[in-house]
Amino acid sequence: MTEVALRNLCKTYPGADKAVVDDISLHIKSGSLTALLGPSGSGKSTILKMIAGLLFPTSGDILVGGHSVLSLPPEKRDIVLIFQDNLLFPYLSVAENIGFGLRMRRRPKAEIADAVHAIMNLMQIRGLEKRKPFELSGGQQQRVALARALVLRPRLLLLDEPFSNLDASLRLEMQSLLKELHRETGTTMLFVTHDQSEAVRLADRIALIFHGQLRQYDAPDAFYNRPHDRSVAEFFGGRNFIDGTLKEDHFECALGHLKMPADTPSHGSILTFRPENIIIGETSSATNRITAILEGRQFLGERTILHLRCGPAMFEAYSSPLAAASYVIGQPLSVCLPPDSLWLLP
């Protein structure tokens, strides 16, 4: 079992007056694929480097498989860290690059050959054994770098912005591959990204970090439907925020008296909801049905944003481009806000 626990982890770089990792506690389940997500400079890489043993924490503890690893040097932690510009050894062939770590561990030759063969099959790079890194495409180099890490069967694989140098289509391909490798190997994986769509696509759970502090640790859908605060909602593209007052069984605001979900936090005073969850036009449900005026629209290709007004409140909803084109600016539209799509922020 390779669960990972960060306990009150702090890091202040020498000479700096502020912590870049500020009291982070996190429990990562064995066999999970977890994202450390946050804007650039929020301390994500510093956390990975401390787990890998390249940096020592200022305070706090890191437990892997239930035991503190702080007294272990990096090579004794059985953890592999991959960076975005994974440097392959230029003079070694692909097979030699992949087998390098096992040779360092003085494994028998036949065992190394078998392991390299198996991992190359898994990564779908058979046939490239004899090539040198400069004879590979960017995607193939990424696969070799992943193979070189996975062949060591580490108990924990750390990836620091592994795909951020790749173009969009290759990036999607590598993301699918990583997800598949995770399923097939069951290795506990923790990756750093600043891209929320990458975190959502890949991770079982996301740890969102702002300024070195953990803001929310949840399954991806919770960041859309149950964000902890406005900054979390905004980081995930939230646009609709409407002030009001929570009464016993409804929320009173410029949109009217809205029925709220059963788990509504009692301390909230800002209503938020996702533009993709709003239903425009007639539906069978009469709950939370309001009339809004279409003030404008913005064509985005696969969808159109409708800018709607209800009394003094403005909000956005998504529509299919075809339906949106049939609406007239200034037209009143019937809009339904399903109670489960509503959420309150402090």
CB 94, CB 130: distance < 8 Å = yes
CB 267, CB 304: distance < 8 Å = no
Only one of the segments 43-51, 125-133, 272-280, 304-312 lies at the binding site for ligand ADP (rule: CB under 6 A); that segment is 43-51
Only one of the segments 40-48, 91-99, 171-179, 240-248 lies at the binding site for ligand ADP (rule: CB under 6 A); that segment is 40-48
Taking CB under 6 A as the criterion, the residue among 8, 27, 41, 283 binding ligand ADP is 41
Taking CB under 6 A as the criterion, the residue among 32, 45, 216, 304 binding ligand ADP is 45
Q: How deeply is 74 buried, as exposed, middle or buried, from its count of CB atoms within 10 A (0-12, 13-18, 19+)? A: middle
Q: How far apart are CA 140 and CA 168, in angstroms?
A: 15
DSSP 276: G
Give the interface size with ligand ADP as a residue count (CB under 6 A): 11
What Cα–Cα distance (Å) separates residue 300 from each residue in 62, 236, 307, 309, 325? 45, 18, 13, 20, 12
- Compare residues 20 and 181 and give the one whose CB is closer to ligand ADP: 20
Q: How deeply is 339 buried, as exposed, middle or buried, from its count of CB atoms within 10 A (0-12, 13-18, 19+)? A: middle
What Cα–Cα distance (Å) separates residue 72 from each residue in 25, 189, 190, 237? 20, 20, 20, 41
Q: At what angle do helices 168-185 and 138-150 cross, to 10 degrees?
A: 20
Q: How far apart are CA 258 and CA 260, in angstroms?
A: 6
Q: Which of residues 245-284 bind ligand ADP (CB under 6 A)?
A: none
- Compare residues 194 and 307 and give the one whose CB is closer to ligand ADP: 194
- Compare residues 102 and 159 and give the one whose CB is closer to ligand ADP: 159
The site string for ligand ADP over 94-113 (x = CB under 6 A, - otherwise) reads --------------------
- Compare residues 38 and 139 and give the one whose CB is closer to ligand ADP: 38
Nearest Cα to 277, choosing from 235, 326, 338? 338
Only one of the segments 36-44, 100-108, 181-189, 263-271 lies at the binding site for ligand ADP (rule: CB under 6 A); that segment is 36-44
DSSP 38-62: -STTSSHHHHHHHHHTSS--SEEEE
Is 40 a binder of ligand ADP (CB under 6 A)? yes
Taking CB under 6 A as the criterion, the residue among 4, 9, 19, 20 binding ligand ADP is 20
Q: Which of residues 176-205 bind ligand ADP (CB under 6 A)?
A: 192
Round the CA-based radius of gyration of the chain to a whole number and report it. Answer: 25
Is 42 a binder of ligand ADP (CB under 6 A)? yes
Taking CB under 6 A as the criterion, the residue among 1, 13, 89, 332 binding ligand ADP is 13
Only one of the segments 24-32, 35-43, 213-221, 324-332 lies at the binding site for ligand ADP (rule: CB under 6 A); that segment is 35-43
Q: Tell me the closest approach of the beta carbon of residue 100 to ligand ADP, in angstroms.
A: 27
Is 38 a binder of ligand ADP (CB under 6 A)? yes
Q: Residues with Cβ < 8 Å from 14, sequence gap 6 or more?
A: none
Q: Tell me the closest approach of the beta carbon of residue 46 to ligand ADP, in angstroms.
A: 3
Binding site for ligand ADP (CB under 6 A): 13, 20, 38, 40-46, 192
